[in-house]
Structure 1
Amino acid sequence: MSDIDSLLRAIPIDQVASALGVDKATAQTAVETAVPTILAGLQHEASTEEGAGNLAEAVGSKDPSVLDGLSLDQIDVNDGEKILGHIFGSNTNEVTSAVAQQLSGSDVLGSVLGSILAGGGRRQPAPAPVPAPAPAPTDTASPNVGSELANKLLPLLAPIILAWLAQQATQKGGQINRSNGGLVQEILGGLLRGAGQAADNRSTGSVVTDILGQILRSR
């Protein structure tokens, strides 16, 4: 099993579908769109020594045992909002909008994220998030539904991804703190390289690898 598959399997799709008020297939597609978005932001955060140290500190604060029999009730979405604000800064709303457009059928996420993350410069703090209303159950995608899903899903997934990174680091025998940000860089790098290689294999048809491939090629 690849690292990206391992990460996706750690996310309880049935619970995500229930939390979002959508069917399982819609929830699966939404997760496979949102996960590479957050991974790209984390990779960008870890691209400098200071950023890697900050990320390692954040990962070290997560309890990987939360993934054992994970219940979404255990996930602190306020913490998720803070994680997103830290990695995307003032671009958080733009990233969320790009995810929403992708979910609504516009193939824009890779280029938008690539442009934002390649821009460099110091990111401004993110504005306070505005809670989105709970989406009504639906079988079809619309721009409004995409926005509701993205606003609710991204902060739900961010803490899970950090807990998964903590689990991987622990399995590698690493003590996770600011001084060994290189370990988190290594895990993220392997994850993204594997996903990018899969994206180049056109027979995969995977949403997550296709989006990651777009992001990595546009940066």
Structure 2
Amino acid sequence: MANSLTNDLMHQLQGQPLQQMSQQLGLEPGEAANAVSAALPLLMGALGRNASQPQGAQALFGALQKDHAGLDLGSVLGSVLGGGGQGEGSNILGHVFGAREQAAAQGLGAATGMGGDRANALLKMLAPIVMAYLAKRMLGGGGGNAQAASPQALGEVLGQEQQQLRQQGGLGGGLLGAVLDRDGDGDADVSDLLKLGGSIFTGGR
């Protein structure tokens, strides 16, 4: 099975980027790695859910082309970790999660134990990174190896990614379901998310 987008991006963030994120958030490196590995599936899965609708795929494809194509992941990382990009991250989160934005941050904060404020800061850091990564991966970096050169193809690739994340389960997959699926009304049940967090800390699934 091909390496998932989420795993690939997580791999690219190992080392210095994760170290800098942990310092900015005031977390131990291990805690930061755990938090990022839960946050990335949440962002990718939410994008996959949005792109499952033709209008959503069209809007995301347009945003990647207009605002994120040709950006080097390293320079985006540098900007975000240098304290820039927070406003952009906030805008992206608004589009990605809509009414579920607060639930996503609360859920991530509860499940990882880092609290909603730090979880929100982490999501704002990661949002521009995820978009730059997707633009490079989907539209190609000029090398002609674009994986999804149309909105439909983008929707398919992200749809498969979301499915894969859910099947993997774990913290990221569980969070994705808890935040996005709650009766379809955007209200995450925080008590469920706390149970999810509890099961992580007690070694449960």
When normalised by structure 2's length, the TM-score is 0.70
Does the CA-based 8 Å contact 1:29-1:207 persist in structure 2? no
1:173 to 1:55, Cα distance in 2 relative to 1, 3 A:
same
1:39 to 1:75, Cα distance in 2 relative to 1, 3 A:
farther
Instruction: Give the Cα separation in 2 of the matches to 1:211 and 1:98.
Output: 7
1:96 to 1:217, Cα distance in 2 relative to 1, 3 A:
closer
Query: Counterpart of 1:81?
Result: 90
Q: Secondary structure of the equivalent of 1:54?
A: helix
Query: Counterpart of 2:36?
Result: 31
Instruction: Give the Cα separation in 2 of the matches to 1:161 and 1:55.
Output: 12
1:167 to 1:31, Cα distance in 2 relative to 1, 3 A:
same
Report the identity percentage.
27
Q: Secondary structure of the equivalent of 1:10?
A: helix
Instruction: Give the Cα separation in 2 of the matches to 1:217 and 1:94.
Output: 11
Instruction: Report runs of 4+ in structure 1 exceeding 6 Å deviation.
Output: 213-219
Over the aligned positions, Cα root-mean-square deviation in angstroms equals: 2.7
Does the CA-based 8 Å contact 1:64-1:164 persist in structure 2? no
Query: Counterpart of 1:157?
Result: 126
Query: Counterpart of 1:56?
Result: 61
1:67 Cα offset (Å): 1.3
Matches within 5 A, 1:52-201: 52-60=57-65, 61-68=67-74, 70-71=77-78, 72-73=81-82, 76-104=85-113, 145-171=114-140, 172-173=145-146, 180-199=150-169
Query: Counterpart of 1:19?
Result: 24
Deviations 1:151-208 (A, max 9, x none): 21011111111111111113343686xxx21122122123233333433xxxxxx543
1:17 to 1:210, Cα distance in 2 relative to 1, 3 A:
same
Deviations 1:90-112 (A, max 9, x none): 221122111111112xxxxxxxx
The AA in structure 2 aligned to 1:98 is: G
1:75 to 1:58, Cα distance in 2 relative to 1, 3 A:
farther
Structure 2, unmatched stretches of 5+, are 185-205
Number of residues paired by the alignment? 170
Instruction: Give the Cα separation in 2 of the matches to 1:91 and 1:215.
Output: 7
1:209 Cα offset (Å): 4.8
1:68 Cα offset (Å): 3.6
Instruction: Give the Cα separation in 1 of the matches to 2:95 and 2:180.
Output: 21
Does the CA-based 8 Å contact 2:51-2:159 persist in structure 1? no
Instruction: Give the Cα separation in 2 of the matches to 1:159 and 1:169.
Output: 15
The AA in structure 1 aligned to 2:146 is: G
Instruction: Give the Cα separation in 2 of the matches to 1:181 and 1:93.
Output: 28
Does the CA-based 8 Å contact 1:80-1:156 persist in structure 2? yes
